[in-house]
Amino acid sequence: MANLSGFNASASANPNPNKSFEVVQPPTDSVSSLSFCPKGNYLVATSWDNQVRCWEILRTGSSMPKASISHDQPVLCSTWKEDGATVFSGGCDKQVKMWPLMSGGQPTTVAMHDAPVKEIAWIPEMNLLATGSWDKTLRYWDTRQPAPVHTQQLPDRCYALTVRYPLMVVGTADRNLIVFNLQNPQTEFKRISSPLKYQTRCVAAFPDQQGFLVHHTFATAGSDGAFNFWDKDSKQRLKVCYDWSKGAENHNPAAAKTYIFLHTPQESEVKGKPRLGTTGRK
């Protein structure tokens, strides 16, 4: 999930009636990433239909398609530059494209790997793009140069990546979590095994750079047909919302459609709870 002006965005295979707004003209295949613009009300989605799409999101919750570009194969990841004008996208064609979306410019290839690119992150403090791939490498790019400024070997294929400078965490196959201090990016700071039972698919750094989660910070979405808001301090779930993806008996493959929904969190959904073990009594 991502947040913009009070909205959360989530992708689903079936309609969601819980006070959410449907994004118009969604991708024609599964959504692989959602990224909100840091400087304006724009949402970018990448998809297995080889497309990168952008919508303008109005404060009423309605959406308007703005622009789109194509990759040669399914697109797996996206991120914005801090200026809110440029989008990066990468995928199964083993390349990363830089799209000057707000100026109406054409995309150019700025990074390459030997296997699909699964995760990307723009690091403004270093003016570099970090790309993680299934070729078991993490590469740093100056987008003005054709070759990476550094290639970091990973223990396995990259599946997740998060950056809150100077903290960076990479999740790979075989449940590895590799922590980097970007003030010394060529050396692993720490490597641990994920406490979760299954493969890491998402990792998110705390805004204060003091830690990270291997499910989304404050909000999670999964194949159980629900998205949840969490209080990380009291370690409690605050609210559960159903997205109707359990309705398999009503599924019609011939009429299958991909949906993106915008949900405005209510105070009751995200208000913190007392820490476990505290009663409030003297």
Does pLDDT of 258 surpass 80?
A: yes
Joined tokens for residue 269: 């959904």
pLDDT digit string, tens, across residues 78-117: 999 999 999 999 999 999 999 999 999 999 999 999 999 9
Interval 239-245 mean pLDDT = 42
Residues listed for the chain: 282
Domains of the chain: 1-112 (2.130.10.10)
Mean pLDDT (the chain, rounded): 81
Q: Give the HSE-up count for residue 207: Cα atoms under 13 Å, Cβ half-sphere.
A: 3
Exposure of 239 by Cβ count < 10 A (0-12 exposed, 13-18 middle, 19+ buried)?
middle
Joined tokens for residue 77: 């990841």
Q: State how far the Cα of 254 lies from the Cα of 107, in Å rounded to an integer.
A: 34
DSSP structural state of residue 269: H
User: Across the strands, what pairs with 205?
Assistant: 212
Q: State how far the Cα of 75 lies from the Cα of 89, in Å rounded to an integer.
A: 7
Does pLDDT of 168 surpass 60?
A: yes
* pTM greater than 0.85 (yes/no): no
pLDDT digit string, tens, across residues 170-206: 999 999 999 999 999 999 999 999 887 878 888 878 7
What is the per-residue DSSP string for 133-180? Answer: ETTSEEEEE-TTSSS-SEEEE-SS-EEEEEEETTEEEEEEGGGEEEEE
- The structure tokens 């200026």 sit at 83
Q: Band of the pLDDT at 279, cuts 50, 70, 90?
A: very low
One-letter amino acid for residue 8 of the chain: N
The 3-state DSSP class for residue 102 equals helix
pLDDT at 282: 40
